[in-house]
Structure 1
Amino acid sequence: MTQLTFSQSSLFLPYRDGQLHLRQLLPSAPNFARTPILMLHGAMSNGRVFYSQSGRGLACFLAKAGFVVYVLDSAGRGQSLPKISRSMNLGQGEVIREQLPLVQQYILDLHKEASEREGKMPPRQVHWCAHSWGGVLMASALARYEALQHSVQSLVTFGSKRTIKVKSFKKWLMVDLFWNRLAPSMAIGQGYLAATKFGFGMDNETKSSLNQCIDWVQSEDWRDHDDGFDYAKAAKLANWPPAWFIAGQNDTVLGHPEDVADMIGECGFKHIKYTVLSKANGFKHDYGHTDMLTHLDANDDHFPQVRDWYLGFELSVLSD
């Protein structure tokens, strides 16, 4: 397939007392009637896991292939303002209940206006794509809101798990010791988890988001910490879009293939594809938690399969 040139720019949406940053990646001749793609990062991260100024990353790859792509920095992360500080008390519930629905409607409205100017039918749906904990937040929003179940065409996740049940020394070190014990203590002193200061991740975490994530990771109880909404119960009743969960063979803790598979079972997806990126399955590497998105070989390895996943939805519409 011919790779097109693309451009990228920043959009800002008013949100509470600040703004959310949305990176927009446009093909050289964007078709706003085509179903767009929204991407969400995980914990201690931001949208840059999907794109770079130099043109690397899954978002850039898909924009070159002709898709309009949006990458969200959740509140306080990346270029979203204000930045995470001691006074910020937003948790993961605000991403689920407020930020994802807000951005979803913004994208649909933007494409509606652009498509109608060109005399085309606007898209009614958006593809969702996430890395790590972003997949849990997206799945939670989908389980909770019937409107999103209708307006999201598909869900693709990389290394997403709702709980971590795998047992190993590395898991004890990274999760039981650091994430569950040391990180909350550090957050109490700083007022938030200053992950970038200590080189732990791409971005920082609020105390609320950190504590809520810890609770979900080690608990069978999947409930909203603010209003008690039962996501586990809602997931079993949800009209899920087609989903593709991707795990890395060398992702031994943060997105272990067994834990990724557990999330698939917990959600109860009806139309599901599950792939482990490993040499044994024909891929170039046994990929890890982050390099499944950042490895230089990804462009020629599994990224084309992701592109074909999205193209498949367009072909199915044309064949109807």
Structure 2
Amino acid sequence: MQSSSELFPVALIGADIRGDLSEDVYRLKPGNSPDPSVELALTRLGRFDQQGGRGVPVILLPGSFSNRRFWYSPKGIGLGPYLARAGYDVWIAEMRGHGLSPRNRGYSRNRVSDYVRYDLPAIADFIHEQNPQPAHWLGHSLGGITLAGALGGRYLDEARVASALLFGSQISRIYWPLKLPPVEWGTRLLLGRFSVLSGSRLGRGPEDEPIGLALESLRWHGLFGRFGDAERDWWAGLGEVRVPLLAVAAVGDRQDPAWACRKLLEQCGSGVREFLCLGKQHGFSGDFGHVEMLVSKAAQAEVWPLVEHWLGNGSLQGSGAQSVVLEPRAGIPTEPSSG
């Protein structure tokens, strides 16, 4: 089969019309990581009747225990179809072993570091090849953490990033028992007996997660842990990020609290940083939860239009939302450097 890309082998494994939407599913085999068996699925959504070229690309990254259906239900409902109908060129990525992406040979050892260093750059390169406009990236939970890591680690070319939106994403919540080395070691020993964490058994979602992600999280939250890989400190690198950023938290989110989501945003060096908290006290109909912030009838009515407003204007100002605009960090230039 002829590849759909000149970068690396890419197969078009599905091309369908879903009502008023076109759906193309690609499977990428970048061959850029130590595990050459890795294949990544990308779903592209657009308006079936769209004339002329594609709109501005928007790349959606699901969170843990999730897949493309978080953004795009079989009935054509979700933020993905909503943005496609608004004229955007929507791409939904599924990480290794999730959804339509097959499990690679080293699946159980997969880490966020692999997503950050190898997979997101390959996804970005392919999408840029198909649509060479700067893309908006939107990640929920672990998807947002992965996006933050790729930006902080300088694995994404910021010239190709129009903006980044982080929903329910944080790395600053402290788990005090893990600061005790015996507890961390014992937990690592216990988890090491498994190859996956079952999303269905844990009541967290339809997908499994490789145990490598859990072990990596233990390292991040340990006594001397840091948000990064062996080569780069992603947390420190966030201070050099210049792309416009929107962080969205929810009052009812017990997993990723609002203060921690805001702290991730505050670490970034962008001159455009906005924070939005979804709750009654901030003018919304209710206190949204971790999933409900994007997948609920209330989100469809109150949150999705705000996302569209941000994508079109680079700010929530004028949308009616009570967002907080953060001042640029001291000593950080507000314009990208020429270097």
One-letter amino acid of the structure 2 residue matched with residue 136 of structure 1? I
Tell me what 1:237 maps to.
240
Q: Is contact 2:240–2:270 with CA below 8 Å preserved after alignment?
A: no
Tell me what 2:192 maps to.
188
Q: What do residues 177-215 of structure 1 show as CA deviations (whole Å, max 9, x unaligned)? A: xxx899866743332222334433231121211111233
Which ranges of structure 2 fall in alignment gaps of 5 or more residues?
1-18, 31-35, 316-339
Which ranges of structure 1 fall in alignment gaps of 5 or more residues?
112-121, 315-320
**How much does 1:7 deviate?**
2.6
Tell me what 1:143 maps to.
152
Distance 1:30 1:278, change over 3 A: farther
Tell me what 2:208 maps to.
204
C-alpha distance in 1 between matches for 2:221 and 2:86: 36
**How much does 1:147 deviate?**
5.2
Tell me what 2:169 maps to.
160
Matched residue of 1:7: which SS?
Answer: strand
Is 2:17 the counterpart of 1:11? Answer: no
**How much does 1:280 deviate?**
1.9
**How much does 1:145 deviate?**
1.9
- TM-score using structure 1 length: 0.80
Distance 1:31 1:80, change over 3 A: farther
C-alpha distance in 1 between matches for 2:199 and 2:20: 35
Tell me what 1:117 maps to.
none
- TM-score using structure 2 length: 0.76
Tell me what 2:77 maps to.
56
Q: What do residues 126-153 of structure 1 show as CA deviations (whole Å, max 9, x unaligned)? A: 1100001211111111122275222111
Aligned ranges 1:62-101 → 2 under 5 Å: 62-82=83-103, 88-101=108-121
Tell me what 1:318 maps to.
none
**How much does 1:30 deviate?**
6.1
Cα RMSD, aligned residues only: 2.8
2:228 to 209, 224, 229: 224
Distance 1:59 1:87, change over 3 A: closer
Matched residue of 1:273: which SS?
Answer: strand
C-alpha distance in 2 between matches for 1:287 and 1:182: 35
C-alpha distance in 2 between matches for 1:309 and 1:20: 28
Q: What do residues 281-303 of structure 1 show as CA deviations (whole Å, max 9, x unaligned)? A: 22122100001111112221111
Task: Name the count of aligned residue pairs.
Answer: 286
C-alpha distance in 2 between matches for 1:218 and 1:250: 27
Structure with higher RCO (Cα < 8 A, 6+ apart): 1
Distance 1:86 1:13, change over 3 A: closer
**How much does 1:44 deviate?**
2.3
Distance 1:235 1:87, change over 3 A: closer
